[in-house]
Structure 1
Amino acid sequence: MTVRIFTAPIALLSVFAALLATMYLGYASNTEKNLHDFPIALVNQDVGETVDGAPQNFGDQITAALVERVPSDKVDLRLLGISEARAQLKSGRVYGAIIIPSDFTKRLVILGAGAVVPGDMERPVITVHTNPRVGPYATGIMQRIADTALDQVDETVGKTLTERVDATLAAGAADPASDKISGAARLLLADPIDVVQAPYRPMGDGAGQGLIAFFYTLILLLAGFTGAMIIHTMVDSLLGFTPTEYGPWFVQPPATGISRFRTLLIKWAVIGVAAPLLSGVFLGVARLLEVPLPGALLLWLYGTLAIIAVGFTALAVLATFGTAGLLVNLILFVVLGLPSSAATVPLEAVPGYVAVLARFEPMHQIYLAVRAILFFDGSMEAGLSHGVWMTILGVAVGLVLGATATITYDRRGLHRTASGGETPPHPIVARLAGAAR
């Protein structure tokens, strides 16, 4: 028994440590390698231009080059019109957009002519829109993808444009000495595209570059998770099932003999009453800290629902598994929840096993709804609909699990009552107490 006191906790902690390392180090260690299906919109508005009697459209050429060069196994490049691209940016369905303007070919032609005819030269612009409302990490990935792809396109277009101007000068020059492009013009032709990066619907300072949705999600989940732990312990103590310690003193009133199911109903009632109050406290503190809160009423309502869902499920797990439920809840809501939430690193940049967890992990569902309320005007398409229904499902799972387990235990006579008499101390405890005396 003495050996078991050491080996059992150490073995359990070792397994727990391995799980922590796998989830927290594995999901963030190599996002470039794990990248898959990263959604980006590509909009080609270029109408083209007639050059020397022949139609020319550099926008089409760049679109084809991007489709060919952007790795399809890593990036979901969506060819969209400008209206649909803006709609998907607004709802968070794409993490960025590359937009080629309608006068792109015209400006390139003018740039080529400006290399021959003296005058001001202005490079055509391609705009890269990032979507900061889906999170800063996704913004960084979007910028790296756009930089890499457009640098290659810029180099190819520059080479083509320079060769075209050289050929034009060579064919039309009367004096061989005149078929030269100035050094400054040649440098500009070699780098003809001006890539401008601009955030789509940027947020204020109070949004924490998009991270405020993650932290609001975290406090909602912790309110339900830790609230369940506190309610479970305090109610059991008040009903006489467990002792309460105050430093060197402990108190344990006589057990009331109430059934497991009725005990769970009391705990659910407490978290149900506390949930709207806690959600209101979060909103009030956010107001004091000047956090932008569009849709405050909707956020309060959903926050109440989220706390109830997490609290009901956590209490049901404790009623079902007893003390082991503490570890089950920790793994379910925190260890597996944080990496799969998509609140820091998007799911498109994490290992597949983490992305699978997001299908049912509570924190991801809460994050989608909170982000939709805070950043996407409460749009159903931005995740609010999915988040709400999955949270309601979480309430149902907690109710079914808790009721089934406790009613089954009660019917089998597994009551939470002492067998009579004073329970003797464990032999190891008695030996240690004797040694202390």
Structure 2
Amino acid sequence: MTTDEPADRPVRHLRLRGWIAPIAVVTLLMALLATMYLAYVVNPTKNLHDFPVALVNQDDGDVLGDKPANVGNQITEALVANLPSDKIDLHVVGFAEAQRQLRQGHAYGAIVIPSDFTKRLAILGAAGVVPGAVEQPVITVHTNPRAGSFATAVMQRIADEALSRVDETVGKQLIDTVHAKLQPSPGTPGTELAGASQLMLAHPIQVVVAPYRPLPDGTGQGLSAFFYTLLVLLAGFTGAMTIHSMTDSALGFAPTEYGPWYVHYPSAPISRFRTLLLKWAILAVTAPIVSALFLGVATLLDVPLDHPLALFLYCVLAIMAVGVTALSVLAAFGTAGLLVNLILFIVLGLPSSGGTVPIEATPEYFAWLATFEPMHQVFLGVRSILYFNANGAAGLYRGTGMAVLGLAIGLLGGAVVTRFYDRKGLQRKPAVAAQSGR
């Protein structure tokens, strides 16, 4: 055996680890990405659960076929019984309450049966055999475009499927009523119902789809809140990564390399805790500048901004909460903190944000993620400011509270971990220096 072989063996072992470790990490990360992102979007109808819809029945009733009737009540009972409760969270409420839920984004749509519904139905039945002008009974479906464009599409599909069955059932009932009136007693010859009248009575209900408080131009059909949220998350996340790497380079804890230029400054005599404080301070200066920059770009692009000050302040808070937490994760885990932050803020955050596909149209574990994932909380706050008149109940209270909580967790966690490392003497030194200092 030659003398070089033992020295060469660790190098071969290191080369093997250098291949296996990155391949394994990338493979696992991509598996998580594929699972999260494809499950998020491939089958929203199948994944539907707890989708909030308001149902308003204002029908006063009337006489139908010489008998008192309230078809609105029958439709309400049929919708409550037939709409799958595990998919649709149907709330039978008054009109004022339905408006409140739509204004606050707590309902994705409302089905409204008007007060004269049975009366118009009775007139339509009479018009089948009596000449004269007539109007179809109307059911209005209010969508909520401010809650998201995809939520609007899901609401329309639900309404189409449910009300088409209602239309057929009511049409059959109306034809039977008219036939009974034309043929008063069994065995007695009566008047035949004209084919055109029978066709009209078979589908008596006119369904009108109307957006509740349509979005103005410059909102990307309800997507501007999501992309503004994405900007805020990236400002905190990538901002923290940039501040972390550039500060470490300046302090000599990591080399600085730009193209062929390479320099590694001597390590500064500074503790982990003070290093983290410095990075937090840089982030605190950066956050309002970036938030103002976003606001300026949005203004130049004619994005409707009814509450610019609220948007500016909220985004400063959100950038600080995300950035402080990301810097604390890096201080705690080092290089591995890059992956932790990527998974926490991006991989798990995007599909559970509710910014494109509503949470109620994704697998149920996304709803669990949305209870704490930062992107969903920030989205609720930004959407409330941009679309819901900065209404606290529409998500601003929750978004602000969760941002404050996240900021507190980031500050406390970072301080505790770095102070612990400092007290244990776990200094940031090269391996040779660390071994010689023992």
Which of the five TM-score ranges fits, normalised by the shorter chain? Answer: over 0.9
Aligned counterpart for 1:353 among listed residues 365, 390, 396: 365
After superposition, where does 1:51-130 map in structure 2 within 5 Å?
A: 51=64, 54-130=67-143
CA distance in 2, matches of 1:322, 1:46: 65
8 A Cα contact 1:99 1:128, kept in partner: yes
Task: Describe the SS at the equivalent of 1:192.
Answer: coil
1:21 maps to 34
Aligned counterpart for 1:131 among listed residues 130, 141, 144: 144
Structure 2 unaligned segments of length 5 or more: list them. Answer: 1-12
8 A Cα contact 1:37 1:73, kept in partner: yes
Deviation at 1:50, TM superposition (A): 2.9
**Is 1:325 paired with 2:337?**
yes
Q: Which amino acid aligns with 1:107?
A: R
Structure 1 unaligned segments of length 5 or more: list them. Answer: 424-437
CA distance in 2, matches of 1:130, 1:46: 21
Q: Which amino acid aligns with 1:229?
A: M
Deviations 1:202-227 (A, max 9, x none): 00121111100000000000000000
Task: Describe the SS at the equivalent of 2:110.
Answer: strand
CA distance in 2, matches of 1:161, 1:120: 18
CA distance in 2, matches of 1:422, 1:154: 79
Task: Describe the SS at the equivalent of 1:319.
Answer: helix
Aligned counterpart for 1:308 among listed residues 320, 331, 334: 320
Higher mean alpha-carbon deviation, 239-248 vs 308-317, is at: 239-248
8 A Cα contact 1:257 1:416, kept in partner: no
Q: Which amino acid aligns with 2:253?
A: F
Aligned counterpart for 2:61 among listed residues 48, 51, 54: 48
CA distance in 1, matches of 2:339, 2:382: 27
CA distance in 1, matches of 2:188, 2:176: 19
Deviation at 1:104, TM superposition (A): 0.3
Distance change in 2, residues 1:418/1:3 (3 Å): closer
Aligned counterpart for 2:44 among listed residues 31, 35, 51: 31
CA distance in 1, matches of 2:42, 2:288: 38
In the superposition, the TM-score normalised over structure 1's length comes to 0.94
CA distance in 2, matches of 1:374, 1:422: 53
Task: Describe the SS at the equivalent of 2:210.
Answer: strand
8 A Cα contact 1:48 1:103, kept in partner: yes
Distance change in 2, residues 1:203/1:168 (3 Å): same
Task: Describe the SS at the equivalent of 2:184.
Answer: helix
Q: Which amino acid aligns with 1:110?
A: I
Deviation at 1:172, TM superposition (A): 8.4
8 A Cα contact 2:63 2:122, kept in partner: no
CA distance in 2, matches of 1:362, 1:352: 18
CA distance in 1, matches of 2:201, 2:65: 19
Q: Which amino acid aligns with 1:161?
A: L
1:387 maps to 399
1:239 maps to 251
CA distance in 2, matches of 1:104, 1:422: 83
Task: Describe the SS at the equivalent of 2:208.
Answer: strand
CA distance in 2, matches of 1:51, 1:152: 20
CA distance in 1, matches of 2:268, 2:34: 43
Deviations 1:20-59 (A, max 9, x none): 1110011222212211111000000000113465321110
8 A Cα contact 2:65 2:178, kept in partner: no
Q: Which amino acid aligns with 1:387?
A: G
Q: Which amino acid aligns with 1:36?
A: H
CA RMSD of aligned residues (A): 1.7
CA distance in 2, matches of 1:51, 1:252: 89
Higher mean alpha-carbon deviation, 255-264 vs 167-176, is at: 167-176
Aligned residues: 422
How much identity, in percent, do the aligned residues show? 61
8 A Cα contact 1:173 1:179, kept in partner: no
Q: Which amino acid aligns with 1:179?
A: T
Task: Describe the SS at the equivalent of 1:27.
Answer: helix
Deviations 1:174-196 (A, max 9, x none): 994x6122222111100000000
Deviation at 1:256, TM superposition (A): 1.2
Task: Describe the SS at the equivalent of 1:126.
Answer: strand
Task: Describe the SS at the equivalent of 1:129.
Answer: strand
Deviations 1:243-294 (A, max 9, x none): 1112112112221111110010000000101101100000000000000111
8 A Cα contact 1:279 1:304, kept in partner: yes
Distance change in 2, residues 1:52/1:240 (3 Å): closer
Deviation at 1:17, TM superposition (A): 1.1
1:434 maps to none
8 A Cα contact 1:257 1:417, kept in partner: no
CA distance in 2, matches of 1:285, 1:188: 54
Deviation at 1:402, TM superposition (A): 0.7
2:278 maps to 266
Q: Which amino acid aligns with 1:180?
A: E
Deviation at 1:120, TM superposition (A): 2.0
8 A Cα contact 1:38 1:76, kept in partner: yes
8 A Cα contact 2:108 2:152, kept in partner: yes
Q: Which amino acid aligns with 2:140?
A: T
